[in-house]
């Protein structure tokens, strides 16, 4: 470097520094753009299954099959977005051991095991409601005392209230095993009422399911402040 004047050396130094700085900024952007979503794991839990069909609509459609359809759709959307997804139930089979005398207990234990193994950032449990033929709308529940669960349920509820008819903005406390079995941020979503034939028709519609799941995803993104 003896042949370079001090001025040239300074210019060279500054240029190298600038190139280095831009490389570091560029690398940061790449890391930011690709990693955070992949770092988040979402457990999607399709309620019921096997012998336990859950609620039944007037057409004979069961809650367990709709829960699975919604869960698989949500999985696809979450994965497209870059999240890691773990399903508790992947098909129409129940999660209980065939040898268990108490099938419900065995099934719930299995759900808990899958959630604990996944160490998720959020748990989304999908269900269909049933009450009267005039009941309608979606409702999110969280476990009492679970602050992260309350935040998640609230964000998802608020997202749903903008898209789904007859859906309020307030998430409610719910005493459900899947919400109580771990301390992870968990929401149970009752997507709509199978006891209402009009709503049942909507819940079976593929386009409605996609729109519903996309809205669920928006709520999850809002929870992650994304």
Binding site for Zn ion (CB under 5 A): 47, 54, 127
Query: What is the number of the residue whose Cβ is closest to Zn ion?
Result: 127
Contacts within 8 Å (CB) and 24+ apart, 149-154: 149/179, 149/184, 149/185, 149/186, 149/187, 151/185, 151/223, 152/122, 152/185, 152/186, 152/187, 152/219, 152/220, 152/223, 153/187, 153/188
Beta carbon nearer to Zn ion, 40 or 216: 216
Q: How far is the CB of 25 from Zn ion (least distance, A)?
A: 49
Beta carbon nearer to Zn ion, 111 or 127: 127
Q: How far is the CB of 191 from Zn ion (least distance, A)?
A: 10
What CA–CA distance (Å, rounded) separates 112 from 125?
12
Beta carbon nearer to Zn ion, 64 or 182: 64
Beta carbon nearer to Zn ion, 67 or 154: 67
Q: How far is the CB of 22 from Zn ion (least distance, A)?
A: 54
How is residue 161 annotated by DSSP? Answer: H
Q: How far is the CB of 48 from Zn ion (least distance, A)?
A: 6
């Amino acid at each position: 470097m003896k042949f370079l004047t001090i001025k040239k050396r300074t210019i060279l130094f500054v240029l190298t520094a600038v190139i280095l700085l831009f490389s570091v900024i560029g690398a940061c952007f790449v890391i930011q753009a690709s990693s955070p979503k992949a770092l988040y794991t979402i457990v999607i839990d399709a309620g019921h299954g096997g012998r336990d069909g859950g609620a039944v609509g007037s057409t004979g459609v069961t809650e367990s099959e709709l829960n699975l359809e919604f869960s698989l759709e949500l999985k696809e959307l979450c994965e497209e977005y870059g999240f890691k997804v773990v399903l508790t139930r992947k098909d129409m089979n129940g999660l209980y051991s065939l040898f268990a005398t108490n099938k419900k207990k065995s099934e719930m234990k299995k759900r808990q095991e899958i959630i604990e193994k996944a160490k998720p950032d959020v748990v989304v449990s999908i269900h269909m409601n049933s009450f009267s033929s005039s009941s309608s709308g979606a409702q999110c529940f969280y476990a009492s005392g679970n602050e992260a669960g309350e935040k998640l349920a609230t964000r998802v509820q608020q997202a749903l209230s903008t898209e789904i008819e007859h859906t309020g903005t307030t998430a409610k406390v719910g005493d459900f095993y899947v919400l109580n079995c771990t301390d992870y941020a968990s929401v149970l979503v009752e997507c709509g009422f199978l006891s209402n034939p009009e709503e049942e028709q909507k819940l079976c519609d593929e386009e409605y399911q996609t729109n519903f799941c996309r809205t669920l995803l928006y709520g999850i993104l809002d929870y992650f402040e994304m």
